[in-house]
Amino acid sequence: MLAFVTSTLVHGQIIQDFGIKVGASISNFRITDARPIVIGNQTFYIDYIQDDVVNPSISCFADLLKSDHLNLQAEISYMRKGASKTSELLVTSPENPEGNGEKVSVTNEIGLQYVGLALIAQPRQSLGDAQVYGQVGSTLNYLLSSSQLTIFSDHWNNFQVGYLIGLGVDPSQILHASVFVEVRYNADFGYFYQSSAKFWNRSWMFCVGTRL
């Protein structure tokens, strides 16, 4: 009985609505403070991996405040971020060490898995039967695991505070179904990794959501 009353109070007074979002993110790295690596008398300049990579994302959200012109939303997410680089290498052999002109494409990808929290303000405006809304919020992300960066020194910042901005469209009244679409840009205030350079996350996310 106590659990039922507590659940009712939480749902009725604090959580106005809730649902899920699924989508994809396009992410890459911003590289700053790059410097060459010196080993003995040799200097090496690194061609950093920082091209776009596409990964899935999934979120659960709760509307803490819900009105005609403003929503305040809390969100917990699982997301993959990272970057990739595709290079063309000459095909060589012991008989032809210089290669015969044939090339093969090799893609290297750095993958980062995060769980994140966000608090998002959503100013809303009706356009006919649809609603358009902005998104401005703060984020706190925790790095669960990584790949391909272990060859460098371990200068990690597992917790990242960041921000997001974006837009959303809610055509629920037109479609007679609880559905909305969002696009947002997300970046961190600090770098997540440092070796011969500092690595900063940045990503675009496109998602479809529904209220349950």
Matching residue, tokens 């403003």 = 70
What was the pLDDT predicted at 146?
A: 83
What pLDDT score was predicted for residue 5? Answer: 37
State how far the Cα of 167 lies from the Cα of 165, in Å rounded to an integer. 7
Q: What domains appear along the chain, each with residue ranges and CATH number?
A: 18-35+63-78+110-211 (2.40.160.20)
pLDDT attached to residue 18 = 94
Least confident segment among 25-34, 57-66, 120-129, 179-188? 25-34
Q: Over range 126-145, report the average pLDDT.
A: 94
What's the pLDDT at 104? 74
Which DSSP category does 16 fall into?
Answer: -
Per-residue b or e along 116-134, where b marks 16 or more CB atoms closer than 10 Å to that residue's CB:
bebebebebeeeeeebebe
Task: Using pLDDT thresholds of 50, 70 and 90, give the confidence band for residue 207.
Answer: very high
Q: Taking a C-beta distance cutoff of 8 angstroms, is the pair 83, 76 a contact?
A: no
Most confidently modeled range among 106-110, 164-168, 172-176:
164-168
Backbone Cα Rg of the chain: 23
Residues 6+ apart with CB under 8 A from 128: none
Which has more pLDDT, 177 or 96? Answer: 177
Confidence of residue 34 (pLDDT cuts 50, 70, 90): confident
129 against 156, higher pLDDT: 129
Range among 43-52, 91-100, 203-212 with highest mean pLDDT value: 203-212
Say what the pLDDT of residue 186 is: 96
